[in-house]
């Protein structure tokens, strides 16, 4: 992989240090993993391990975690002592390391040592590792005490605790991954649904970068042609006619506009959406909510006005996280508590990305129903005729002229599959979006693509205004820089700090 040109990531810590962190979530579990990365990883890990075989790159070795003791045991060092420790090697880690006079952090091979745990140790030799450094991963039983002790031993041996996202940051700075792939690592960890994980995995494979590469190449070619026309005008190098320049700009803009349009769907994939279920009392909102959640989450009774507060639950519909909000029935309030619940219902309607207006198909339409449909029309709305199992006696004619088309029965389950399909249709946006790879899911990326499109529009206007090519090039470079910033080729330290600080420690 070609190492990108980037601004050095400027943290207050030394990126050449050997770093350590617990790589598994906090708490107790069957297995816990401690990750140690850097040039001294092998040396620091050696005194605490008694292995059955020598470590080999890419191979897991069974062994024991021991408490080093005796003359060669690593002392608990101060920061000053850590800085003065002798740098180790990055070669193969043996099951025992001969003691060296004055070497801190190496135990005597046959000295007394107390076993703490059984472990599996994996060695990834540079540059074939996640960070391109030497990496030692120690898999122990998932006791927080044991994992913490491993970290303490590593720090005593000369490592320092990793900052949030520092392992992935090193992978980026060393050219192992670009910035879109680094951000995809975080998205993969944060995935709530399998579909989100698949999209993040596509980004981790470089789907967005691959989609941008031909766009950047076309833009760079146009810049090179204009630069050549200016620099070698005296050598009879032809100057591009305006029509040709406009064709080149259009060829760059078209795929960027398609990419920008994909954000409407990508944002929903990344963040999910909120779906409010509203309607008059006793039309079956809570029963429908329970059907979509697939468990008895909301209280259901035959008494109108049972739901007084908002009840929410997040479910996956078509792989998209959807926060369902069950609301109080909207009518003329009978008491203060119901009045507060109705006010919250109207707020939920206003804040929702999508609204389900539930109607009672077994009763004639009311003015309240049509008024509620009109109020919900400011948001994407799906009207649902519930209680279809009781027979359809209502005459539905909505003011907008659109008759509600989804008939359901929360009691029997009829129509629920059709409702899910209709919800997905609203989520999916333009046809074909769900089949794309490399679409935008990140607000930062969307802003940068828009910046590039704005600069290209300025370049188009400059051509129409007969602006000299020297000035036109400024607009084209302004279009190129945001695309570089997406992949990290020209990214400022502030942006990098913001991105990697949101990672968990150990990744």
Helix (H) or strand (E) holding 145: helix 144-156
Sheet order of strands, 273-279 included = 311-317, 320-326, 273-279, 354-360, 381-386, 406-407
The pLDDT tens digits of the residues spanning 427-439 come to: 874 444 455 678 8
Quick one: tokens of 24? 């598994």
SS3 238: coil
Q: Which residues contact 170 (CB under 8 A, 6 or more apart)?
A: 15, 37, 131, 132, 133
Whole-number pLDDT of residue 141? 94
| Same fold flag, 185-262+439-487 and 275-428 | no
Whole-number pLDDT of residue 308? 52
Predicted TM-score of the model (pTM): 0.72
SS3 labels along 109-122: CCCCEEEEEEEEEE
Instruction: Give Rg (Cα) of the chain.
Output: 31
**99 to each of 70, 106, 115, 154, 207, how far by Cα in Å?**
11, 6, 20, 17, 49
Q: Which residue has the tokens 């007084």?
A: 308
Contact 134, 170 (CB under 8 A): no
Q: If 0-12 CB within 10 Å is exposed, 13-18 middle and 19+ buried, where does residue 397 land?
A: exposed
Q: Which residues of the chain fall below pLDDT 50?
A: 1-13, 70-72, 74-111, 301-305, 397-401, 403, 429-433
Whole-number pLDDT of residue 88? 33
The pLDDT tens digits of the residues spanning 395-414 come to: 554 444 454 568 888 888 88
> For the domain with range 19-177, which CATH number is right: 3.40.50.150, 3.40.50.300, 1.10.10.10, 3.30.1360.120?
3.30.1360.120
Whole-number pLDDT of residue 82? 34
For residue 46, give the DSSP letter: G
Q: E strands within 13-59? A: 19-22, 29-37, 49-51
What gap in Å lies between CA 131 and CA 497, rounded to an integer? 18
What gap in Å lies between CA 50 and CA 95, rounded to an integer? 6
What gap in Å lies between CA 120 and CA 107, rounded to an integer? 20
The torsion angles phi and psi of 471, rounded to 5 degrees, stand at -80, -35
For residue 130, give the DSSP letter: S
In this structure, are strands 160-161 and 320-326 parallel, antiparallel, or unpaired?
Answer: unpaired
SS3 51: strand
List helix spans (H) across 232-335: 242-261, 263-271, 285-293
Contact 421, 318 (CB under 8 A): no
What gap in Å lies between CA 319 and CA 65, rounded to an integer? 42
Whole-number pLDDT of residue 393? 56
The CATH topology of domain 185-262+439-487 is 1.20.120
The superfamily (CATH) of domain 275-428 is: P-loop containing nucleotide triphosphate hydrolases (3.40.50.300)
Whole-number pLDDT of residue 225? 85
Q: Which residues contact 84 (CB under 8 A, 6 or more apart)?
A: none
SS3 275: strand
Which residue ranges make up each domain of the chain? 19-177, 185-262+439-487, 275-428
What gap in Å lies between CA 288 and CA 298, rounded to an integer? 10
């Amino acid at each position: 992989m070609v190492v990108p040109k980037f601004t050095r990531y400027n943290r207050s810590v030394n990126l050449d240090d050997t770093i350590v962190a617990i790589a598994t979530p906090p708490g107790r579990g069957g297995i816990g993993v401690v990750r140690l990365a850097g040039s001294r990883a092998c040396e620091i890990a050696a005194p605490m391990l008694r292995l059955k075989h020598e470590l080999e790159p890419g191979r897991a070795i069974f062994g024991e975690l021991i408490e080093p003791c005796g003359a060669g045991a690593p002392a608990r060092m101060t920061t000053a002592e850590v800085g003065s420790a002798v740098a180790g090697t990055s070669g193969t880690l043996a099951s025992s390391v001969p003691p060296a006079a004055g070497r801190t952090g190496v135990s005597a091979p046959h000295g007394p040592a107390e076993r703490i745990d059984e472990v599996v140790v994996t060695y990834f030799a540079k540059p074939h590792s996640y960070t391109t450094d030497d990496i030692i991963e120690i898999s122990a039983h998932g006791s927080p005490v044991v994992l913490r002790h491993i970290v303490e031993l590593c720090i005593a041996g000369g490592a320092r605790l990793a900052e949030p996202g520092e392992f992935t940051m090193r992978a980026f700075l060393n050219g192992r991954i670009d910035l879109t792939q680094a951000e995809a690592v975080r998205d993969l960890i944060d995935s709530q649904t399998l579909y989100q994980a698949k999209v993040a995995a596509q980004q981790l494979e470089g789907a967005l970068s691959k989609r941008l590469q031909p766009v950047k190449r076309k833009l760079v070619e146009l810049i090179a042609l204009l630069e050549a026309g200016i620099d070698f005008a005296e050598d009879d190098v032809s100057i591009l006619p305006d029509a040709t320049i406009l064709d080149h700009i259009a060829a760059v803009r078209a795929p960027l506009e398609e990419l920008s349009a994909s954000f409407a769907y990508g944002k929903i994939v990344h963040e999910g959406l909120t779906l409010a279920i509203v309607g008059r009392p006793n039309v079956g909102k809570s029963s429908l909510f329970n059907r979509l959640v697939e468990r008895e989450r909301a209280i259901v009774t035959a008494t109108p006005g049972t739901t007084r507060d908002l009840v929410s639950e997040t479910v996956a519909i078509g792989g998209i996280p959807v926060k369902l909000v069950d609301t109080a029935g909207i009518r003329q309030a009978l008491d203060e508590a119901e009045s507060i619940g109705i006010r919250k219902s109207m707020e939920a309607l206003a804040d929702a990305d999508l609204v389900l207006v539930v109607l009672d198909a077994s009763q004639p339409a009311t003015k309240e129903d049509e008024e509620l449909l009109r109020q919900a029309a400011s948001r994407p709305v799906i009207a649902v005729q519930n209680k279809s199992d009781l027979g359809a006696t209502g005459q539905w004619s909505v003011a907008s002229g659109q008759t509600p088309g989804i008939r359901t029965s929360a009691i029997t389950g009829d129509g629920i599959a059709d409702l899910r399909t209709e919800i997905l249709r609203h989520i999916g946006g333009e046809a074909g979006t769900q089949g794309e790879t490399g679409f935008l899911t990140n607000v930062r990326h969307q802003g940068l693509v828009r910046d590039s499109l704005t600069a290209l529009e300025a370049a188009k206007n400059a051509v129409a205004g007969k602006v000299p090519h020297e000035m036109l090039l400024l607009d084209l470079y302004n279009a190129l820089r945001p695309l570089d910033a997406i992949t990290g080729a020209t990214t400022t330290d502030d942006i990098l700090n913001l991105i990697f600080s949101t990672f968990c420690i150990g990744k």
